[in-house]
């Protein structure tokens, strides 16, 4: 039995995959392998199969491209303009994933010609994918001020300067170093390591890592150390 007199509508999932290489944010894009817009730059996506949920489809697509599972990913929103796809009526549900570029660079699938692009120098994207990326950035900027989700972009060990660069890059602003350090350390999320990063000075800077137990306990109650005026950007 089927619903009568109803139009067929396809459902797709598109993954907005952000990465951080230690100095700047990047977006993972693929070259579309079929018409329309063949060989144009696109988010990684695909149609939801009849035997899977939206979350399962997003996980499958991410796995196909990066070989990864169990990374930070959450549903963003649906994009449903009737003419967003020129072939058929397609509703796309966007997901945001955060990945440490250096950790997973070698696992990218060659099948999709995947490439990391700096966020400040993105190519023209197909359909409404630019709108998706902008919506994802807006949500991340708001959420990252209250929850430590950006820590998902960091390597296992990192310096406080790398952490500050991570937040400054997300909000495109300069943050006072002493104030930032004081607030971050007061969360007790970080553990100070014994070794140092001496790549930029002889004295070096201590590495820190995330205390996973404290991180999980405080995820929904993170100290806001981003100025309020930056959240509306």
pLDDT digits 0-9 by tens, 50-81: 999 999 999 999 888 877 777 889 999 999 99
If 0-12 CB within 10 Å is exposed, 13-18 middle and 19+ buried, where does residue 106 land? exposed
- Written as six digits, the tokens of 229 are 């005026």
Decide if domain 149-231 falls under CATH 1.20.1090.10. no
**Which one of 2.40.50.100, 3.10.180.10, 2.60.40.1840, 3.90.79.10 gives the CATH number of domain 10-144?**
3.90.79.10
Checking if the pLDDT of 132 tops 90, the result is yes
Instruction: Judge whether 16 and 97 are in contact, CB under 8 Å.
Output: yes
- Show the 3-state SS of the chain: CCCCCCCCCEEEEEEEEEEECCCCEEEEEEECCCCCCCCCEECEEEECCCCCCHHHHHHHHHHHHHCCCCCEEEEEEEECCCCCCCCCCEEEEEEEEEEEHHHHHHHCCHHHCCEEEEHHHCCCECCCHHHHHHHHHHHHHHHHCCCCHHHHHCCCCECHHHHHHHHHHHHCCCCCHHHHHHHHHHCCCEEEEEEEECCCCCCCEEEEEECHHHHHHCCCCCCCCCCHHHHCC
Sign of the alpha-carbon dihedral angle for 209, 15, 166, 108: positive
Domain layout of the chain by residue ranges: 10-144, 149-231
Checking if the pLDDT of 14 tops 80, the result is yes
Predicted local distance difference test score (pLDDT) of residue 104:
66
Residue pointed to by tokens 């995820």: 219
Q: Do domains 10-144 and 149-231 have the same CATH topology?
A: no
Predicted local distance difference test score (pLDDT) of residue 233:
47
Checking if the pLDDT of 146 tops 60, the result is yes
pTM (2 d.p.): 0.87
Highest mean pLDDT, choosing among 43-57, 147-161, 190-204, 219-233: 43-57
Predicted local distance difference test score (pLDDT) of residue 131:
98
For strands 90-100 and 10-20, give the pairing: parallel
């Amino acid at each position: 039995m089927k619903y009568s007199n109803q139009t067929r509508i396809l459902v797709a999932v598109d993954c907005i995959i952000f990465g951080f290489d230690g100095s700047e944010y990047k977006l993972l894009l693929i070259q579309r392998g079929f018409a329309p817009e063949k060989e144009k730059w696109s988010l990684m996506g695909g149609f939801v199969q009849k035997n899977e949920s939206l979350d399962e489809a997003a996980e499958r697509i991410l796995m196909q491209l990066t070989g990864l599972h169990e990374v930070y990913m959450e549903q963003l929103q649906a994009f449903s303009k009737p003419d967003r796809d020129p072939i058929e009526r397609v509703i796309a549900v966007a997901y945001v994933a955060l990945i440490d570029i250096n950790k997973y660079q070698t696992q990218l699938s060659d099948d999709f010609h995947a490439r990391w692009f700096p966020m400040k120098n993105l190519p023209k994207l197909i359909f409404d994918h630019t709108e998706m990326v902008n919506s994802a950035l807006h949500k991340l900027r708001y959420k990252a001020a209250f929850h430590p989700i950006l820590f998902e972009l960091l390597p296992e060990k990192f310096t406080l300067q790398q952490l500050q660069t991570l937040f400054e890059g997300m909000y495109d602003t300069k943050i006072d170093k002493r104030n930032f350090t004081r607030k971050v350390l007061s969360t007790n999320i970080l553990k100070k390591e014994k070794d140092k990063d001496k790549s930029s000075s002889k004295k070096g800077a201590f590495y820190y890592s995330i205390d996973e137990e404290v991180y999980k306990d405080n995820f929904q109650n993170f100290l806001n150390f981003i100025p309020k005026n930056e959240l509306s950007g």
